[in-house]
Structure 1
Amino acid sequence: MDLFSVRKRLDEIDAQLLDLFCERMRLAAEVAAAKKETGRAVFDPAREREKLAAVADRAPDALVPQAVALFSLLMSMNKAEQMRILAAGDPQGAAEDARAALKPADEPFPARASVACQGVEGAYSQIAASRLFRLPSITFFASFDGVCRAVRDGLVRYGVLPIENSTAGSVNAVYDLLAAYRFHIVRSIRLKIDHNLLAKPGARLEDIREVWSHEQAIAQCAGYLERLGVRVHVCENTAQAAEAVARAERDDVAALSSRACAGLYGLDVVDEDVQDSDNNYTRFVVISAEPEIYAGATRASLMLTVSHEPGSLYRVLERFYALGINLVKLESRPIPGRDFEFVFYFDLDCPVSAPSFIELLNSLGDVCERYWYFGSYTEVL
């Protein structure tokens, strides 16, 4: 056969495949109705194994992997459609929560708000808050947990917390707190971080014997500190480190902190931009006790757990793929008290109003043990 004839035949086969696919998806409604009536779960692992085994038996040996992958995807899309049908109108579903939290299109993100930050004036969290809000009323707390308790107790409307760094990775303590408090993310920002070595006026770089800072800043400047040959001391916050150096009765200590802290605490910059990578960004999130979704939100965050069995995470990822949703972050954390079991955090690039996203929220319960939708939001760059 010549190329034209081959392509014509392929088009004919594709047309048949499309008709059969559409018919298969239409049957999902009947399957969903039958399962609802009998109380059976959408995901039937025994039935799925039998189907895939039958596919493998019928396919030529050279095409078994492709055939199994194709039918696995078909079944995933069918299950997602069943879940969408069963979850439609569920007042307690995550999709309905997202719709209820969506603000009117003409309501902007607040310019003024009460905000909790960890540290003291000059901390990177405060700098992030000042970029996120035009006129924030900031209250400082000694720890990340203090920020969360302030939001939980209604002392402030929002909290601003660092969640990941391009050099040092995720801030695991914040992920654990998000899971514990079940907060909602309403905004995020990527802040360029330039660490500076701050010391008392007149101090010289060669005189510095000890450097104080937050553990994340220390990790981001690990190579520099090793070359400097100094001892390191971990503080609660980079700004608190600068404040402590200013109060110290020693001239051989310095703080890794922002340039703004030099002016705030009367210190000199003895070395600037000392982070190991020039591409050093920290992502901060705005958290709230109640869900708030503003127009234009394109990023979403989820937390979920899966059963401890082969293929459980694959079924989740397959659902993202089947719905055409872009996964931009996957983070795992051990579940306390459960050996070798993990909770997974996902960041997705998908508009909150996209039908595929609503379908995902309605169908996730089929592929995981439980999940929590942190919210959809805009990330400020």
Structure 2
Amino acid sequence: MNIDNARKEIDLIDGEILSLFARRMALGGEIGKMKEAAGLPVENSEREREILLKITRESGVELQNSARILFSTLFELSKSYQRSHKVVESGFPEKIVSALENTPALFPASAKVACCGVPGAYAQLATDRLFQLADITYFNDFGAVFQAVEKGLCRYGILPIENSTAGTIDQVYDLMLDHHFYIVRSCRLQVKHALLLPPGAEIADIKEVISHEQGLKQCVGFLKSLGNIKTVTAGSTAMAAKIVSSSGRKDIAAIASVECAGIYQLKIAADNIQDKDSNYTRFICISREPEIYPGAAKISIMGTLPHKPGSLYRLLARFAVLGVNLTKLESRPKRNENFEYMFYFDFEASMASPELRMLLSELVSDGNFTFLGNYAEITA
């Protein structure tokens, strides 16, 4: 047999597989209807386990893993097809549909907004990209921003969530577990750091550099070029600039935005000192209630998965069946729970899709996942 003959035989086999697959899915759909009529759940993990054990025994050692993956995928496709014909009674879809219908066509030009830090912080720059003119209230830490939104002190809160150079903002992810909120928009802000000195100081005088932890991480190369310099962390890059401005010293500097130079009367000794020019920080805009504006094309959810082999794979397969593109998957250890993790997902999709609403409704109804928002992301 040559390669052409082998391919022809494979084509014939593929045709048989497709025909059998269509028959299997049709039967699965009928079973789904009978399950719904009888009030039975779509999931039957015990039967799946029995079939997988049988397949493993009969497939031979060489094909065991491949056969198990193949049939696990078939199970997920079949269950997804059954769910697509099932009516899920949950307040979740109605709440989201209400947000879709009642959210205004345009994102607000102005609002009362909570930010972490002081004037000149990158959170303020992100706010200025999201709103034409925001009434900003500054807070000392990220937790206070969450609380300001929860308590209704501010309609929105702006929080950094990840940086393209330094990675995720761990503190914000941890705080997400403790607060109730929705993401209504996000902004990818290009971060350009500068070394700011007190008037009259020179780089050669500097013995100490102050900045936010992320700012220091993003400028490691430049800091090394300064030699034996002490680094000190501040609550934000803008706070670092404020500290340097009020210190009265000539031997300290701040890593912050160039905007901070004008605000705090400092001089720019060097600009664009970040390690990478493609240095972006992603900020989220949160609110107390869901708001879904036209053009929302990103969805975020957060939740836990059972400690079972393949549980993450099975969830991802359900999204894959709907053609959803996953853009971020983050796992965070749950506090006070040994080896328990919270998963954070970003994916490109819209809640306008009934099939996706059905899937998210099931995840939320099970109590394992929280819907965080459907929103648009801008790049500034």
If the length of structure 2 is used for normalisation, what is the TM-score?
A: 0.90
Partner of 2:116: 118
Q: Which residue identity lines up with residue 107 of structure 2 in the other structure?
A: F
Distance 2:237 2:194 in 1: 10
| Aligned pairs (5 A) from 1:216-295 | 216-228=214-226, 229-295=228-294
Secondary structure of the residue aligned to 1:250 is coil
Can you list the C-alpha shifts for 1:180-208, whole angstroms capped at 9, x where unaligned? Answer: 11211111111011111111112100101
If the length of structure 1 is used for normalisation, what is the TM-score?
A: 0.90
Partner of 2:203: 205
Secondary structure of the residue aligned to 2:302 is strand
Distance 1:121 1:38 in 2: 61
Secondary structure of the residue aligned to 2:178 is helix
Distance 1:215 1:202 in 2: 26
CA distance 1:248–1:334, shift in 2 (3 Å): same
After TM superposition, what 4+ stretches of structure 1 lie above 6 angstroms from structure 2?
A: 1-9
Can you list the C-alpha shifts for 1:314-347, whole angstroms capped at 9, x where unaligned? Answer: 2222222333221111111111121111001011
| Aligned pairs (5 A) from 1:58-97 | 58-59=58-59, 62-86=62-86, 88-93=87-92, 95-97=93-95
User: How many angstroms does 1:171 deviate by?
Assistant: 0.7
User: How many angstroms does 1:105 deviate by?
Assistant: 9.0
Aligned length: 378
Match of 1:193 among 170, 176, 191: 191
Q: Which residue identity lines up with residue 100 of structure 1 in the other structure?
A: S
User: How many angstroms does 1:375 deviate by?
Assistant: 1.0
Secondary structure of the residue aligned to 2:275 is coil
Gaps of 5+ in 2: none
Distance 1:37 1:247 in 2: 72
Secondary structure of the residue aligned to 1:293 is coil
Distance 1:364 1:27 in 2: 25
Preserved CA contact (<8 Å) 1:211 1:231: yes
Can you list the C-alpha shifts for 1:162-183, whole angstroms capped at 9, x where unaligned? Answer: 0000111111111122221121
Gaps of 5+ in 1: none
Distance 2:190 2:225 in 1: 23
Distance 1:51 1:167 in 2: 46
% identical equivalent positions: 45
Secondary structure of the residue aligned to 1:275 is coil
Secondary structure of the residue aligned to 1:97 is helix
CA distance 1:125–1:202, shift in 2 (3 Å): same
Match of 2:149 among 125, 148, 151: 151
Can you list the C-alpha shifts for 1:26-59, whole angstroms capped at 9, x where unaligned? Answer: 3444434554566654333321121122223343
Quote the RMSD (CA, aligned, Å). 2.6
Can you list the C-alpha shifts for 1:151-172, whole angstroms capped at 9, x where unaligned? Answer: 0111111101000001111111
Q: Which residue identity lines up with residue 173 of structure 2 in the other structure?
A: Y
Q: Which residue identity lines up with residue 90 of structure 1 in the other structure?
A: E
User: How many angstroms does 1:139 deviate by?
Assistant: 1.1
CA distance 1:99–1:21, shift in 2 (3 Å): farther
Match of 2:175 among 165, 174, 177: 177
User: How many angstroms does 1:9 deviate by?
Assistant: 6.2
Partner of 1:46: 46
Distance 1:3 1:225 in 2: 60
User: How many angstroms does 1:61 deviate by?
Assistant: 5.1
Distance 1:4 1:248 in 2: 79
